[in-house]
Structure 1
Amino acid sequence: MSSRPRKLFLAALAGERQARPPIWLMRQAGRYLPEYREIRGRAASFLDFCYTPAFAVEATLQPIRRFGFDAAILFSDILVIPDALGQMVAFESGEGPRLDPIVDAAGLAKLAEEPDWMRLAPAFETLERVKTALPGDVALIGFCGAPWTVASYMIAGRGTPDQAPARLFAYRQPKLFAQLIERLVEASTAYLLRQLAAGAEAVQIFDSWAGVLPPAEFERWCVAPVAAVIAKVRASAPNAQIIAFPRGAATQLGKFAHVPGLAAIGLDTAVEPRVAIEALPGRIALQGNLDPLALVAGGAGLDEGVDRVLGGFGERAHIFNLGHGILPETPVEHVERLVARVRKA
């Protein structure tokens, strides 16, 4: 019999319903933590922070030390892929990411055929170092952005409310847009495989802007590329545990029901657990989906929200998380209250 500690997060991904759900939170390493703000102030830029293993390791471990979450997630950003493909990427304080927009075939031609793996090497070093530092019962998650979401930033050059620049590009130049998506499918696949080789035990694909796509485009630009990444990853790593997070999928969530190799799906705040249970087969674990604003608010609103999530998933394998990332203004004591309440479930 193995003496290794049981990892509840991995058991849930394998389809096991736990006595109490494992818990981790998107953006659990971030500005709401005073210890994070202290080390962030020592980096010259956000990308430098991501690409400096000493900082990234510390940021990844901080929420584990403070809250004892059941999984740690690599500290990085989804835009390291366009950066490694040769697109100019910068983060402006208070304004978010800024990229050199791709507006035509010439812009696409400037991208490298595959990422600069030396540029991304710090992420793999970070995973290796975190893996050795984690408690034995804590799992390690890697991640990437989904092709659609990453492409939307690459085309607009920034975040926009409805990603209209990328949507217009896809309508007007569908063949060129498909080429960009395929480039990102290949880059994302290779990136995730390298993360798994470096020690990640599961990976999550963040499609933060899936919800802006109408049905036909959702199938074409969200579901199909994510399914392609999953298939390609599992072709080389058959046991890879992969989570998809199509934020805003709403009534289109069921389109992921037949994606082979999908271990779990992340639910945003607007999805009722009952709807997800009905739309997705039992082999797919469900992750989510407390409102991040309930965590900011605290008090009775937080307690009621936690209890609704805990009670909503019945006999399904469930991983407790938020419906999106922790907000910077979240009080640390509210996260402590959340974890305590989940642990008492």
Structure 2
Amino acid sequence: MAGAENSLFIKTLKGERSHRPPVWLMRQAGRYLPEYREIRATAKDFLDFCYTPSLSVEATLQPLRRYPFDAAILFADILLVLDAMDRGLRFEAGEGPILNPLDRASDLEAVSLSKVMQRVSPVMETVERLKAALPEGFPLIGFAGSPWTVAVYAIEGRGGTDKKNPKLWAYTRPDDLKAVLDYLVVVTTEYLKTQVEAGADALMLFDSWAENLPDHVFDWLVIEPTRKLVDNLRSAGVTVPIIGFPRGAGAKLADYVAQTGVNAVGLDTGQVPSFVNTSLPKGFPVQGHLDPLSVIAGGKQMLDRADQIIEAYRADGRPHVFNLGHGITPDAKPEHVETLMKHIQAMG
């Protein structure tokens, strides 16, 4: 880890409190930055961008040149594993990701694990280049989509849906859905283990579609595959901190924390600090959860809400990484991010 264990970010994930929360923002590299839009235009498409290490490295480093973030996050996409499984991934303007909808669990296994890893090998090169480019000890976050969220994309063939088909699989084809989740656990374990071997200092699991699930299926769709993934990583010798982000988990947050084995939990925009503090174990690290729309608006309300969130966890003695409740939006103003960062840095 080359000294990253001494960073404010990693120490917070391990349960230490500090004078101010470390801060990074989901999608901190992206379309809200004009310099990102410039380099994005040089790639033939988004997948080409993700698979070109020189571009992915540059995208990762761009926000660090502007703002004093406490961590970098690898520039990639949670759907690269599905692209590597030959699911026909493409990104269409105005529609987002499109894939060939999954009919059978066995279709995912048509491409061998070794070929999947060969396809995503440029991601590992990006991690290696980033560790060489970042200051000694500066933490780099690797990531992947959690099995349920990746399964939703695979079965629906797109994002932004009501998750009707994968939820129906849970009721009418539970064995098929479990087979999909189990295979995604296997692939994602290898994908994340390899990121750590390449230099990632922490991992984040994005379960963006954990929302609006009945509690009796949440356990086996979200919690169980995440637990298996974390257990597999630990059995494979991965020791870096793991952040789980079950967006929209609501009252199931405590079960997720208790049963998955993650070291910290990301909080979405709708989570309530008082609920978090009374529901989670004392001293368990959290990350979040300013509304991304608040950053678009900027001004006093943004800083006041940031203060409310920070003070709520500080008063409880809870280790806290400041972040957003979801990714920063393309229409966020860079100067608002600068104001927010200066405000937090001024805390100490």
- Deviations along 1:114-170, one digit per CA (max 9) or x if unpaired, are 652121111000001111111235210000000000000000100133211211122
Q: Does residue 230 of structure 1 match 2:230? A: yes
Q: Secondary structure at the residue paired with 2:258?
A: coil
Q: Secondary structure at the residue paired with 2:268?
A: coil
Which of 317, 323, 326 is residue 325 of structure 2 equivalent to? 323
State the 1:325 CA deviation: 0.2
Q: Does residue 90 of structure 1 match 2:62? A: no
In structure 2, C-alpha distance between the alignment counterparts of 1:266 and 1:251, rounded to whole Å: 14
In structure 1, C-alpha distance between the alignment counterparts of 2:4 and 2:131, rounded to whole Å: 14
- Counterpart in 1 of 2:129? 129
- Counterpart in 1 of 2:38? 38
- Counterpart in 2 of 1:259? 259
- Deviations along 1:194-232, one digit per CA (max 9) or x if unpaired, are 000000000000000101211011101001111111111
Write the letter of the residue equivalent to 1:218: F
State the 1:239 CA deviation: 2.0
In structure 2, C-alpha distance between the alignment counterparts of 1:230 and 1:245, rounded to whole Å: 13
Write the letter of the residue equivalent to 2:68: G
Q: Is 2:105–2:179's contact at 8 Å kept on the other side of the alignment?
A: no
State the 1:54 CA deviation: 0.5
Write the letter of the residue equivalent to 1:333: E
Q: Secondary structure at the residue paired with 1:203?
A: strand
In structure 1, C-alpha distance between the alignment counterparts of 2:198 and 2:277, rounded to whole Å: 33
State the 1:171 CA deviation: 1.6
- Deviations along 1:96-131, one digit per CA (max 9) or x if unpaired, are 000000123564564545652121111000001111
Q: Secondary structure at the residue paired with 1:138?
A: coil
Q: Is 2:5–2:11's contact at 8 Å kept on the other side of the alignment?
A: no
In structure 2, C-alpha distance between the alignment counterparts of 1:168 and 1:258, rounded to whole Å: 27
State the 1:193 CA deviation: 0.4
State the 1:255 CA deviation: 0.7
The 3 A distance-change label for structure 1 pair 22 and 84 is same
Q: Secondary structure at the residue paired with 2:233?
A: helix
Percentage of identical aligned residues: 46
Q: Is 1:310–1:342's contact at 8 Å kept on the other side of the alignment?
A: no
Q: Secondary structure at the residue paired with 1:15?
A: coil
In structure 1, C-alpha distance between the alignment counterparts of 2:305 and 2:149, rounded to whole Å: 28
Q: Does residue 143 of structure 1 match 2:143? A: yes
- Counterpart in 1 of 2:339? 337
In structure 2, C-alpha distance between the alignment counterparts of 1:119 and 1:196, rounded to whole Å: 17
The 3 A distance-change label for structure 1 pair 115 and 27 is farther
State the 1:270 CA deviation: 0.7
In structure 2, C-alpha distance between the alignment counterparts of 1:206 and 1:124, rounded to whole Å: 19
Q: Is 1:230–1:261's contact at 8 Å kept on the other side of the alignment?
A: yes
Worse-matched range after superposition: 277-286 or 294-303: 277-286
Q: Is 1:262–1:284's contact at 8 Å kept on the other side of the alignment?
A: no
In structure 1, C-alpha distance between the alignment counterparts of 2:260 and 2:226, rounded to whole Å: 11
State the 1:178 CA deviation: 0.7
Structure 2, unaligned runs of 5 or more: none
In structure 2, C-alpha distance between the alignment counterparts of 1:182 and 1:322, rounded to whole Å: 30
The 3 A distance-change label for structure 1 pair 5 and 278 is closer
In structure 2, C-alpha distance between the alignment counterparts of 1:118 and 1:189, rounded to whole Å: 15
In structure 2, C-alpha distance between the alignment counterparts of 1:141 and 1:91, rounded to whole Å: 24
Aligned runs of 1:2-81 on 2, under 5 Å?
A: 6-81=6-81
In structure 1, C-alpha distance between the alignment counterparts of 2:214 and 2:87, rounded to whole Å: 28
Aligned runs of 1:203-282 on 2, under 5 Å?
A: 203-259=203-259, 261-282=261-282
- Deviations along 1:28-73, one digit per CA (max 9) or x if unpaired, are 0000000100000000010100000000000011111110210000
Q: Does residue 191 of structure 1 match 2:191? A: yes
Aligned runs of 1:288-303 on 2, under 5 Å?
A: 288-303=288-303
Q: Is 1:162–1:212's contact at 8 Å kept on the other side of the alignment?
A: no
Q: Is 1:306–1:341's contact at 8 Å kept on the other side of the alignment?
A: no
Q: Is 2:267–2:287's contact at 8 Å kept on the other side of the alignment?
A: yes
Worse-matched range after superposition: 257-266 or 228-237: 257-266
In structure 2, C-alpha distance between the alignment counterparts of 1:133 and 1:120, rounded to whole Å: 21
The TM-score normalised by the length of structure 2 is: 0.95
The TM-score normalised by the length of structure 1 is: 0.96
Q: Is 2:85–2:109's contact at 8 Å kept on the other side of the alignment?
A: no
Count of equivalent residues? 344
Write the letter of the residue equivalent to 1:336: E
